Chain A
Amino acid sequence: MNSRSSRVAAAAIAVAVGLVVASCSPAGSTGNSSAEQPASVGNSGTDSTAAGETTGAADSGAAASGSATAPGSATAAAAPSGTFVVARTGDVDKLDPHLATAFQTIETLGLVYDSLVKTDADGKLIPGLATSWKTSDGGKTITFQLRDGVKWQDGDAFTSADVKASIERILDEKTSAVGRSNLSLITSVDAPDPGTAVLHLSAPDTAIYYALASTNSSILHAKDITAGTVGKTPDGTGPFSWKSWQPEQRVTLAANADYWGGAPGVASLEFRVIPSESSILAGMKAGSFQLGVLSDPSVAAQAEGASNFALVKQPVLSYHVMQLNGRRPPLDKLKVRQAIACAVDRQQVIDTAAFGDGQVTGPITSPGYQFDPTEGLPCKPGDLDAAKQLLADAGEGGGFHLKTIVETGEYATSVAEGQNLQAQLAKIGVTLDLQQLTTSPYVKAWLDADYDAAVALNGGSSDPFLMYGRYFTTDGSLTKPAGLESKELNELLVKGNSTDDETVRQQTYQQLQKTLLEQSPWVWMFRGDDYYLVSSKVQGFTARADESLTSLGSATLSG
């Protein structure tokens, strides 16, 4: 009797172990979903560094004519103290801001390095290392006045030579900089005196300011570039200076007391790598971290109502989309694409796959360019009869199969979105054959457009041209996964980017959004949320749509 019951017990235990292991396992172990996504294949348009509290500047807002005002009305807090611990699922992967694609790397290096200009929480340009800038020569020359008294981590003074060396490094093909294509209109950089840098462009380029605001366009120390030490020990001008890195464990930063925007409110900042989002949640409950960064809505749902921290939901610029490959039949027919776009009830995808956390969006997610998310579609989303009619008109009423790639792993909701889309589109006779791929084969298939449809999470930007120029202009870097070439889209993008007249830009980009929806190269679904668990001891943290942690430069701890 004995041995039998022990066998049964063993089996039961084995199952129990399986279930416990289950609760802390794979998909949950990856975080910031969009990090390694197609988003980052081009340029995630994530903006850069600190000092959200510069005031007075940039009330003129618009791109081309930033005005200069003294910075640093920073809350001159008491002597900074304490260690601020941030828990997130991934580690930094490299230390060179020009090569960074992972969100964790961009978040971290964005606090160590500065860029010429920055964006505020609303996506408006504000001064960074440049205090003012003006255009001349019909928009083809940009002159930056640089900030005085900025010091590198090693004590050297920041000058225009650093700007020239940094931009030339990005433009050098050998660097393989992530942001090179966004700065490709720059023909040369001059440094007439230490406080002035001049960019010469081959054509007017409005998006260039947003490209320069990216962490991928960080200004490096010219000395480090010459010595070849970039990427070994970060040496920046940001609110924090680099202290140490234990890969897959933690990154430690120290406050930069000389920061031009005012010294940070904490003495040091530590990023811990906690692979499982559930463990981050548990650590927050135990009070081990001051800030937890999550991306999985089902984990975030368990964080509601805690007493010692708050759950902050921040809509992000990245967007969830089903990309269609318009180069393959039957998707090459406009009406077929429109039928699919019509059939998808976006809200249902949000409710099922993202547990209701998300906002239906059109193509353009930039806060400065918000338009009706469905204007241009020939019908109301979710209208199955209209969709069926469109299919019948296109001669595809009998239905067809689409090979659809979804990602397992980093992008937590992709498979769920795929399953809901599959169920929805089945109603109009379109069968999605889901193919689940892990991150790297997925990105490869995506880049090669080896699919009929792809459920993707693509990076957004404050500037519509930076979002779609790479897909829908004739010389874009991602025209393959765009799946559609359109002269009209190309013209609209080029037109919007070559003017600095805000009214014209609004009209042009509204037309762009409308045309994108009408052509339906993709089915735009929704913007998700990022989730921040913020300890009640933290003051001054602001989540941002561009997923930057800039506000840590001014956050303080109490108690």
Chain B
Amino acid sequence: MSTSAPPPIAEPVESGPPTGRRSPTALLRRVWRDPGGRIGIVLMVLMILLALLGVSGLLPHGPIDQAPQDRLQGPSGRYWFGTDQFGRDIAARTFAGIFTSLRVSVVSVLAAAVIGTFLGVLAGFLGGWVDQVIGRLIDILFAFPAILLALALVSALGSGWVNTAIAITVVYAPIFARVARGPTLSVAGSEYIRAGRVLGIPTSRLLLRHVLPNVAAPIVVQVTLALSWAILTESALSFLGLGTQAPDASLGLMVSDARNLVSTAWWTLVFPAAAIVLLVIGLNLLGDGLRSALDPRQTSGTRPRRQRLTGTRGRTS
């Protein structure tokens, strides 16, 4: 079984000629103009606020505080989302679970992005045997179904959020390498890079100042999409008992605990499940909005027809 569909490879964004720096606020404004992007931003801001509330200690009940006399109560003014079999507050656990999910996904996806981009840019820019070695390495990692690889890694490393993050990093780094390599190839052959070489600019400076900014757009989009898949992977691992360990709150673990209670206590399942859905939808919409905002062919308000380009392949598991 698997809760994982193919992880995403962003539809590549044209890495056009140098377009000059865009400020993050300008970028956000462009995303905000897109209706989907706007929903994505709102959802993610909401989720981040809830996550912070969950770990702030400001809630009336802690996520692991048990009140056995109040167990399995429905949603009420006292317990907004009801209580579970131990009398723990589902609201507090859901918010803390959102924090856990976001923490694991952000850490792992950032690590995967840094490592993957580094390898991809290196492979694309240097070519030759470096490209061959990195390419084969990525192929090997791609050969494993994502969830299976993550499961194997967590089983070997032991459970806990850091190990879960490491496993997700290993699974997603190759995707970033692929995404970074393609645009790097075209940038590496461009006039301004050749000119830079002729001027004697060191390779490291070329890579950092001239290549990286021009391949950044697809990677930024990839990050938001990978975040949503990382949240699903973290939930799946916790659901299988390999991620976050009880009694700590995690959305996947809460869904797992609620499985057999759903007919008698629907609230134990509905709220954590809804949190997963909203997180994933929010990140996907945000990713979509970012992509159109970063698309150089984009003129404000209208979007060009997009086509799925080949060259990167999805993974199935």
Which residues does A use to contact B, with CB under 8 Å? Answer: 3-4, 7-8, 10-15, 17-19, 21-23, 25-28, 278, 296, 298-299, 301-302, 348, 351-353, 355, 408, 415-416, 418-420, 422-423, 434, 436
Check B241–A17 contact: CB distance below 8 A: no
Check A302–B264 contact: CB distance below 8 A: yes
CB within 8 A of B228: which of A11, A28, A416? Answer: A11
Jot down 16 A-B pairs with beta carbons below 8 A, ordered by A.
A8-B285, A13-B5, A14-B3, A15-B232, A15-B273, A21-B2, A22-B239, A25-B1, A27-B241, A278-B260, A296-B260, A298-B261, A355-B85, A408-B241, A419-B66, A423-B64
Whether A419 contacts B260 in the complex (CB less than 8 A), given A4-B288, A11-B281, A19-B255, comes out as no
* A186, B261: Cα distance in complex, Å: 51
Q: Nearest residue in B to A438 (C-beta to C-beta)?
A: B241
Check A22–B255 contact: CB distance below 8 A: yes
Q: Nearest residue in A to B274 (C-beta to C-beta)?
A: A15
**B contact residues around A278 at 8 Å (CB):** 260
Which residues does B use to contact A, with CB under 8 Å? Answer: 1-5, 11, 36, 64-66, 68, 71, 85-87, 159, 228, 232, 235-236, 239-241, 245-247, 255-256, 259-264, 269, 273, 276-277, 280-281, 284-285, 288, 306, 308
* A351, B159: Cα distance in complex, Å: 29
- Please give me the 8 A-B residue pairs with the lowest Cβ-Cβ distance, nearest first: A18-B3, A298-B260, A423-B66, A14-B5, A419-B247, A4-B288, A11-B280, A352-B86
> How many Å from the CB of B235 to the closest CB on chain A?
7
Check A26–B240 contact: CB distance below 8 A: yes
Check A12–B277 contact: CB distance below 8 A: yes
**A contact residues around B239 at 8 Å (CB):** 18, 22, 25
Check B64–A434 contact: CB distance below 8 A: no
> How many Å from the CB of A271 to the closest CB on chain B?
23
Q: Nearest residue in B to A300 (C-beta to C-beta)?
A: B260
Check B260–A18 contact: CB distance below 8 A: no
**B contact residues around A15 at 8 Å (CB):** 3, 232, 273, 276-277, 280
Most buried by A among B85, B87, B285, B308: B85
> How many Å from the CB of B254 to the closest CB on chain A?
11
Q: Nearest residue in B to A418 (C-beta to C-beta)?
A: B246
**B contact residues around A12 at 8 Å (CB):** 277, 280-281
* A11, B280: Cα distance in complex, Å: 7
Grouping DSSP codes into helix (H, G, I), strand (E, B) and loop, the A interface class, with mixed when no group exceeds half, is helix
* A419, B246: Cα distance in complex, Å: 7
Check A18–B281 contact: CB distance below 8 A: no
Check B5–A10 contact: CB distance below 8 A: yes
* A3, B287: Cα distance in complex, Å: 13
Check B241–A26 contact: CB distance below 8 A: yes
**B contact residues around A415 at 8 Å (CB):** 246
Check B5–A19 contact: CB distance below 8 A: no
Check A3–B306 contact: CB distance below 8 A: yes
* A22, B258: Cα distance in complex, Å: 9
* A298, B232: Cα distance in complex, Å: 26
Check B259–A351 contact: CB distance below 8 A: no
> How many Å from the CB of B84 to the closest CB on chain A?
9
Check B86–A423 contact: CB distance below 8 A: yes
* A421, B193: Cα distance in complex, Å: 65
Q: Nearest residue in B to A412 (C-beta to C-beta)?
A: B260
CB within 8 A of A14: which of B86, B232, B308? Answer: B232
Other A-B pairs beyond A14-B232, A14-B280, A351-B68, 14, CB < 8 Å: A3-B11, A3-B306, A11-B284, A15-B277, A18-B276, A22-B3, A22-B239, A22-B256, A23-B262, A25-B256, A26-B240, A298-B260, A298-B261, A299-B260
* A149, B71: Cα distance in complex, Å: 59
CB within 8 A of A352: which of B1, B64, B68, B256? Answer: B68
**B contact residues around A416 at 8 Å (CB):** 85-86
Check B284–A7 contact: CB distance below 8 A: yes
> How many Å from the CB of A194 to the closest CB on chain B?
54
Check B260–A352 contact: CB distance below 8 A: no
Q: Nearest residue in A to B34 (C-beta to C-beta)?
A: A4
**B contact residues around A352 at 8 Å (CB):** 66, 68, 71, 85-87
**A contact residues around B68 at 8 Å (CB):** 348, 351-352, 420
**A contact residues around B65 at 8 Å (CB):** 423
* A298, B273: Cα distance in complex, Å: 19
* A249, B168: Cα distance in complex, Å: 36
**A contact residues around B71 at 8 Å (CB):** 351-352
**A contact residues around B247 at 8 Å (CB):** 419, 422-423, 434
* A512, B36: Cα distance in complex, Å: 71
**A contact residues around B261 at 8 Å (CB):** 298
Whether A19 contacts B260 in the complex (CB less than 8 A), given A4-B288, A14-B3, A420-B68, comes out as no
* A353, B72: Cα distance in complex, Å: 12
Check B3–A21 contact: CB distance below 8 A: yes
**A contact residues around B269 at 8 Å (CB):** 19
* A306, B236: Cα distance in complex, Å: 33
**B contact residues around A434 at 8 Å (CB):** 245-247
> How many Å from the CB of B102 to the closest CB on chain A?
16
> How many Å from the CB of A233 to the closest CB on chain B?
36
Q: Nearest residue in A to B1 (C-beta to C-beta)?
A: A21
CB within 8 A of A419: which of B86, B285, B306? Answer: B86
* A420, B3: Cα distance in complex, Å: 29
Check A28–B87 contact: CB distance below 8 A: no
> How many Å from the CB of B40 to the closest CB on chain A?
10
* A299, B261: Cα distance in complex, Å: 8
**B contact residues around A348 at 8 Å (CB):** 68
> How many Å from the CB of B159 to the closest CB on chain A?
7
* A56, B5: Cα distance in complex, Å: 65
Most buried by B among A14, A28, A348: A14
Whether A14 contacts B4 in the complex (CB less than 8 A), given A4-B288, A8-B285, A419-B247, comes out as yes
Q: Nearest residue in B to A356 (C-beta to C-beta)?
A: B71
Most buried by B among A4, A348, A415, A419: A4
* A18, B259: Cα distance in complex, Å: 12
**B contact residues around A302 at 8 Å (CB):** 260, 263-264
> How many Å from the CB of A409 to the closest CB on chain B?
8
**B contact residues around A355 at 8 Å (CB):** 85
* A212, B236: Cα distance in complex, Å: 48
Most buried by A among B64, B240, B260, B263: B260
Check B284–A8 contact: CB distance below 8 A: yes
* A298, B71: Cα distance in complex, Å: 14
Check B285–A19 contact: CB distance below 8 A: no
Check A420–B86 contact: CB distance below 8 A: yes
> How many Å from the CB of A365 to the closest CB on chain B?
24
Q: Nearest residue in B to A352 (C-beta to C-beta)?
A: B86
Whether A18 contacts B87 in the complex (CB less than 8 A), given A25-B1, A25-B259, A299-B260, comes out as no
Q: Nearest residue in A to B263 (C-beta to C-beta)?
A: A302
Whether A436 contacts B273 in the complex (CB less than 8 A), given A4-B288, A351-B71, comes out as no
Check B259–A28 contact: CB distance below 8 A: yes
**A contact residues around B245 at 8 Å (CB):** 434, 436
**B contact residues around A21 at 8 Å (CB):** 1-3
* A8, B261: Cα distance in complex, Å: 29
Check A18–B86 contact: CB distance below 8 A: no
**A contact residues around B308 at 8 Å (CB):** 3
* A353, B87: Cα distance in complex, Å: 11
Q: Nearest residue in A to B260 (C-beta to C-beta)?
A: A298
* A353, B71: Cα distance in complex, Å: 11
**B contact residues around A418 at 8 Å (CB):** 246
* A348, B67: Cα distance in complex, Å: 10
> How many Å from the CB of B289 to the closest CB on chain A?
9
